[in-house]
Structure 1
Amino acid sequence: MKTYYVYILTNRSGTLYTGMTNDLQRRVWEHKFSDVPGFSKKYKLDRLLYFEQTENVSAAIEREKQIKGWKRTKKLELIEAMNPMWEDLSWDWFETNR
């Protein structure tokens, strides 16, 4: 059975990005180090602040949509409940630092 993740990334400016994937480590790598054009490249999203997992892809998609629909203050409450210091939860996942 696959595992699906809903996650929130940020950058130095505090921009928030919510996404969903079935491979969190790969997806965070892509956000941090990939040169693929798009929102995460434009805003240099490189810090994983929050994630949750489920084995139900539909639940993950719905949860991503739910979080994306929230106001910033509610997203901050969610992040700070899990990660009050806003640490990069993926800081030790990769040997490469750019």
Structure 2
Amino acid sequence: MVSRYGTIAVYIVASQKRGTLYCGVTDNLGARILAHREGRGSKFAAKYGCKRLVWYEIYDMIADAIMREKSIKKWRRQWKINLI
């Protein structure tokens, strides 16, 4: 679904192959990825150079997307890699 701002998505960005992973949620995926590439996405992502979009999922409801993001953030690293 497209919200009034854009697409609601849960996403993972990476610094490089086998690098640091960052999971987030947004209602404007394009703008958020651009922000990550410019080092404005989040302090954690900027610190570790997470700029490469490696996975995303689209949602109709922001509450569902937030629940999914919180769930993924608790996962072990290997589970996230398997998801990607």
Matched, 1:10 2:14: yes
C-alpha RMSD over aligned residues: 1.6
Count residues in correspondence. 79
Find 1:27's aligned residue among 17, 28, 32: 32
**Unaligned residue ranges in structure 2 (runs of 5+):** none
| Equivalent position SS for 2:50 | coil
Structure 2 partner of 1:55: 60
Offset from partner CA, 1:10-45 (integer Å, 9 cap, x none)? 012610000000000000000001357711111111
Q: Distance in 2 between matches of 1:9 and 1:76?
A: 11
Question: Matched residues in 2 for 1:63 and 1:42: separation?
Answer: 24
Gap regions ≥5 residues in structure 1: 80-98
Greater Cα radius of gyration, structure 1 or 2: 1
Stretches of 4+ aligned residues off by more than 3 angstroms: 34-37
Contact 2:13 2:54 in 1 (8 A): yes
Q: Which protein has the bigger strand share?
A: 2
Q: TM-score if structure 2 supplies the norm length?
A: 0.86
Q: Deviations over 1:52-84 (max 9, x none)?
A: 0011011000000010010001101100xxxxx
Rounded Cα–Cα distance in structure 2 between residues aligned with 1:31 and 1:70? 22
Secondary structure of 1:73's counterpart equals helix
